[in-house]
Homo-oligomer: A and B are copies of this chain.
Amino acid sequence: MPSTALLTDAYELTMLESALRSGAAQRHCTFEVFARRLPDGRRYGVVAGTARVLDALERFRFDEPVLEALRAAGRLSQQTLEHLAAWRFTGDVDGYAEGEVYFPGSPVLTVTGTFEEAVVLETLVLAVLNHDSAVASAAARMVVSAGDRPIIEMGSRRTHEEAAVASARAAHLAGFASTSNLEAGRRYGVPTSGTSAHAFTLLHDSEEEAFRAQVAALGTGTTLLVDTYDIRAGVETAVRVAGPELGAVRIDSGDLAVLAVQVRQQLDSLGATGTRIVLSGDLDEFGIAALRAAPVDAYGVGTSVVQGSGSPTAGMVYKLVEVDGRPVAKRSESKASHGGRKWAVRRHRSSGTATEEVVSAGGPPPAEPGDRALQVPLVRGGERVGPASSGSGLQAARDHLGEVLVSLPWEGLALSKGDPAVPTRVLPPV
């Protein structure tokens, strides 16, 4: 596997060059990842990408191809290049588990180590967490909106080709049933699905011919796309060709709420009472909510989920908060609230409902009944101790999110804009 070390901003390495010169490169540092706010009136965010960060960290090394590129760029001294050849991350990483929810100020990831170990990870850590958490945060709202109805992720064509794979993973983590993306199936074990597009119908001399070909190849349990020409005729042809055992019909255009009712009635009248209705076409969490009363069996969601439904990046930052045990912060940020390494617990009523996110510097907050510690060890002394792979931990993250969402106050699951589901309380250093 190629190194991930060049997926990095140039200044991380020029800072390293300068810090090697000043001797500060060996200072013991803590960097924290957090979001100052949730996007756009959202009530909660969903942490995703942590396991991908750990994957990328395992491949983060200044091997010969990387050093050659850096040499060619001509910015770093020969001394620094030699130093980088021996670079290893030997520090610790702690963080919120994938599938945990987060709020403004939640210390989502904490990296401790020497400055030179920790600073160079900034760009890659943020790229992964900001992307995957943005997708998972939007996806979770869609899943809540859809209730028991499954959602298929089909947005691969509306984002960068590798972002598509990560998006499919993040959406599944947040509760989507499956993805259209084949590589996400291979790489992470996300269930894949899909049957046909309008092109397939157009390719044949008639819709009936296309449906016959598809049923012959994929069986009567397949999903036939019925809106290439006339939907009513399409449904009639679909049931005539496949019989009442037809698995599903998909509608990708038009007024979906009206069409779902009409198509359900038509299917039932044709005896295809078990044939499911799959809707797609510019759906987002609000479109899904608007279809709650419609006879829908599954949703396909594309653009809106891979683009974080209007908030395509989570806005997390990677901030140096402690140097050799001393809290540090920019002037514009209060050291009292932001300097120093943080601990985080979520506080709950005896009923299990979350009441607040408590973040403290200097040590864990004083324990109260119903507290749940939110940070888990991910790397110790450079060795991964968190989820063994970005694929194997996916089901656990999915289950965890399901449990956490149930623990939020009910208004915290609302789609409308508002405050975070629970407030974040920052305790001053003890």
A86 CB within 8 Å of chain B: no
A128 CB within 8 Å of chain B: yes
Q: Which of A265-273, A312-320, A362-370, A390-398 contacts B (4 or more CB under 8 A)?
A: A312-320
- Choose one: B10, B130, B202; the contact of A180 (CB below 8 Å): B10
Q: Which residues of B contact A200 (CB under 8 A)?
A: 15, 18-19, 119
For the complex, what is the distance from the CA of A186 to the CA of B69, rounded to whole Å?
Answer: 6
Q: Which of A213-221, A340-348, A405-413 contacts B (4 or more CB under 8 A)?
A: A213-221
For the complex, what is the distance from the CA of A323 to the CA of B198, rounded to whole Å?
Answer: 13
Q: Contact mask A143-159 → B, CB, 8 Å, 1/0?
A: 00000000000101111
Nearest residue in B to A308 (C-beta to C-beta)? B312
A53 to chain B, nearest CB (A): 10
A321 to chain B, nearest CB (A): 9
A14 CB within 8 Å of chain B: yes
Q: Provided the pairs A202-B328, A216-B18 are in contact, do residues A185 and B73 lie with their beta carbons within 8 angstroms?
A: yes
A17 CB within 8 Å of chain B: yes
| Chain A interface mostly | helix
Interface residues of A in 71-95 (CB under 8 A from B): 72-73, 75, 77
A165 CB within 8 Å of chain B: yes
Q: Which of A23-31, A99-107, A283-291, A374-382 contacts B (4 or more CB under 8 A)?
A: A23-31
Q: Which residues of B contact A323 (CB under 8 A)?
A: 202-203
For the complex, what is the distance from the CA of A130 to the CA of B160, rounded to whole Å?
Answer: 8
A7 CB within 8 Å of chain B: yes
The reply to whether A7 and B156 contact each other, CB–CB distance below 8 Å, is yes
- Choose one: B17, B122, B312; the contact of A307 (CB below 8 Å): B312
Q: Which residues of B contact A315 (CB under 8 A)?
A: 158
Q: Provided the pairs A10-B182, A17-B217, A213-B24 are in contact, do residues A157 and B203 lie with their beta carbons within 8 angstroms?
A: no
The winner among A29, A70, A75, A216 for most chain B CB atoms within 10 A is: A75
Nearest residue in B to A128 (C-beta to C-beta)? B161
Q: Which residues of B contact A216 (CB under 8 A)?
A: 18, 21-22
For the complex, what is the distance from the CA of A318 to the CA of B197, rounded to whole Å?
Answer: 11
Q: Contact mask A249-270 → B, CB, 8 Å, 1/0?
A: 0000100000000000000000
The reply to whether A194 and B11 contact each other, CB–CB distance below 8 Å, is yes
A295 to chain B, nearest CB (A): 23
The reply to whether B195 and A160 contact each other, CB–CB distance below 8 Å, is no
The reply to whether A159 and B131 contact each other, CB–CB distance below 8 Å, is yes
Q: Which residues of B contact A13 (CB under 8 A)?
A: 182
A127 CB within 8 Å of chain B: yes
**22 A-B contacts (beta carbon < 8 Å):** A6-B182, A7-B181, A10-B180, A10-B182, A11-B196, A17-B217, A18-B216, A18-B218, A20-B217, A22-B212, A69-B185, A73-B182, A124-B161, A127-B159, A127-B160, A131-B159, A158-B313, A160-B162, A198-B330, A202-B328, A303-B313, A312-B312
Residues of A within 8 A of B (CB): 4, 6-15, 17-22, 24, 27, 29, 31, 56, 69-70, 72-73, 75, 77, 115, 119, 122-124, 126-128, 130-131, 154, 156-166, 180-183, 185-186, 192-200, 202-204, 209-210, 212-214, 216-218, 228-230, 253, 303, 307, 312-313, 315, 318-320, 323, 328-332
